[in-house]
């Protein structure tokens, strides 16, 4: 339903065309057959990426075995293509989904209206939203936090030395006094009972902590809404990715904390971005 598997063509395929020239036809056909037999829906694209990103035959075989066993392609090749960027990822991290570009673009749009905007990405994982803002909004001041040190290692690579990258739970990781013009996050929002329905590629290779959001999937959404009022600048905005079925419950929470909330639905018809502001902003 919600923070589910990667959908569409493999996200790494966005960067395949500029990786190297076209691979050898016979090798590509053979690899495609192996991947298709293993159940890879986009076997042809994935074969292109593996061949383009691997120069050693032994390493190609090791990577192919890992993919056939179900490991996400992105963690095998070490990057995910996201909005024109190549973001570092490692085995065990939550791989950013392409649907999150809908959130990232809105975060960048909001940041672009404030000179030197202070932008925070709690629950950052590898920090795809902050990285997109960094690439598209010159002068934005970036901060990212996550409770898991593994994705933070990637986040530091994706954001560069000027960003603040800290280990911490939600907004608490940024200290008690920090305020922001934009807070944008993809918190875990899959209801606990739906984790078992997700593809094995996600449940076996990504941290459950990056997926599960409590009984209704909104535990962390409510936490961020509740804590955001004191962390938003006067005209600041909190942007959160959720499933469209969760918008009404999130609105109730925002109202209870004196905040206004509206939502935008993504082109996929399922993902939504909730936009939370001070009620008079």
Cβ–Cβ under 8 Å, residues 20 and 31: no
Helix or strand (DSSP H, E) at 233: strand 232-243
- Hey, is 237 helix, strand or coil? strand
User: What CA–CA distance (Å, rounded) separates 176 from 116?
Assistant: 21
Lowest-pLDDT range, 13-22, 76-85, 248-257?
13-22
- Quick check: 21 pLDDT over 50? no
The pLDDT, as a whole number, for residue 204 is 73
Regarding beta strands 259-265 and 271-278, do their DSSP bridges make them parallel or antiparallel, or are they unpaired? Answer: antiparallel
The pLDDT, as a whole number, for residue 280 is 62
Distance, CA of 263 to chain centre: 19
Backbone angles phi, psi at 278, to 5 degrees: -60, 140
All domains of the chain in start order, with CATH: 11-88 (1.10.8), 98-278 (3.40.50.150)
- Quick check: 260 pLDDT over 80? yes
pLDDT, tens digit (0-9, with 9 covering 90-100), for 227-250: 999 999 999 999 999 999 999 999
Higher pLDDT, 185 or 201: 185
Nearest to 78 by CA among 8, 15, 124: 15
The pLDDT, as a whole number, for residue 5 is 40
- pLDDT-derived band at 19 (thresholds 50, 70, 90) equals very low
Lowest-pLDDT range, 35-39, 165-169, 174-178?
174-178
**Runs of H (alpha helix) within the chain:** 25-37, 43-53, 57-68, 73-77, 101-111, 128-136, 149-159, 200-203, 219-228, 247-256
Tokens of 130: 């902050």
Lowest-pLDDT range, 4-8, 162-166, 264-268?
4-8
pLDDT, tens digit (0-9, with 9 covering 90-100), for 175-190: 888 999 999 999 998 8
- pLDDT-derived band at 133 (thresholds 50, 70, 90) equals very high
Q: What is the mean pLDDT of residues 164-168?
A: 97
The pLDDT, as a whole number, for residue 47 is 97
């Amino acid at each position: 339903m919600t923070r589910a598997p990667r959908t569409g063509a493999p996200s790494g395929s966005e960067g395949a065309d500029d990786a190297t020239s076209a691979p050898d036809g016979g090798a590509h056909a053979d690899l495609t057959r192996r991947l298709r037999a293993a159940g890879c829906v986009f076997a042809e694209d994935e074969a292109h990426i593996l061949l383009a990103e691997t120069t050693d035959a032994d390493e190609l075989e090791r990577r192919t075995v890992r993919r056939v066993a179900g490991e996400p392609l992105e963690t095998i090749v070490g990057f995910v293509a996201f909005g024109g960027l190549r973001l570092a990822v490692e085995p065990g991290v939550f791989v950013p989904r392409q649907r999150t570009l809908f959130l990232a673009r809105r975060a960048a749009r909001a940041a672009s209206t404030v000179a030197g905007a202070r932008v925070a990405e709690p629950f950052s994982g590898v920090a795809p939203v902050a990285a997109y803002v960094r690439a598209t909004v010159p002068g934005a001041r970036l901060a990212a936090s996550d409770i898991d040190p593994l994705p933070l290692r990637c986040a530091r690579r994706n954001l560069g030395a000027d960003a603040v990258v800290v280990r911490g739970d939600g907004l608490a990781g940024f200290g008690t006094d920090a305020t922001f013009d934009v807070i944008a996050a993809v918190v875990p929002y899959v209801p606990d009972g739906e984790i078992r329905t997700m593809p094995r590629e996600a449940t076996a290779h990504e941290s459950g902590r990056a997926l599960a959001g409590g009984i209704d999937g909104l535990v962390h959404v409510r936490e961020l809404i509740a804590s955001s009022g004191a962390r938003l600048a006067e005209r600041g905005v909190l942007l959160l990715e959720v499933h469209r079925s969760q918008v009404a419950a999130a609105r109730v929470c925002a109202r209870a904390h004196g905040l206004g909330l509206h939502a935008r639905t993504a082109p996929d018809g399922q993902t939504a971005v909730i936009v939370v502001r001070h009620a008079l902003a």
